[in-house]
Amino acid sequence: MIIIGLDPGLGTTGWGVIAKSGNRLSHIANGQVSTDPKAPLAERLVTLDRELTDVILAHRPDAGAVEEVFVNTNAQSTLKLGQARGVCLLALARAGMPVSEYATRLVKKAIVGTGGAEKAQVQAMLRVLLPGVKLAGADAADALAVAVCHAGMVRGSA
């Protein structure tokens, strides 16, 4: 089973693709989609959609997982994050795969064992769980963590 995880953001969306075979996980690819902060919102959303679609077509995942939105103190930031997250959900659903959503604390607990883990702890565990992985950045690492979390939630393999 091929799983793609997404960490939504309007400025940068992380993505990570892993393979699950039985209890074994392996890294396939990871990266980040960045949008131009000076571009109009609609154009940024189109860029995000286009680049995520390219990643999905390149790796043909069987399932997708997206990190849930946390509420910022800035309502405008939360709204923009929600719009980027909507594009992520749409891109996965349009590709015909089942899509799951996970809270940040659940992802951290699945990877490190505690929902309050720091980003450095999550990244260190990803290097243990996915030997040889080269992380494309913090958002890509978060996306891989979402994919690994989902792998632990699904039964069997394809």
Query: Which residues are part of the catalytic machinery?
Result: 7, 67, 139
Pull the structure tokens for residue 55: 């990643």
DSSP letter assigned to residue 71? P
Distance CA(154)–CA(117), nearest Å, equals: 23
Structural Rg of the chain based on CA atoms: 15
Grouping H, G, I as helix, E, B as strand and the rest as coil, residue 100 is strand
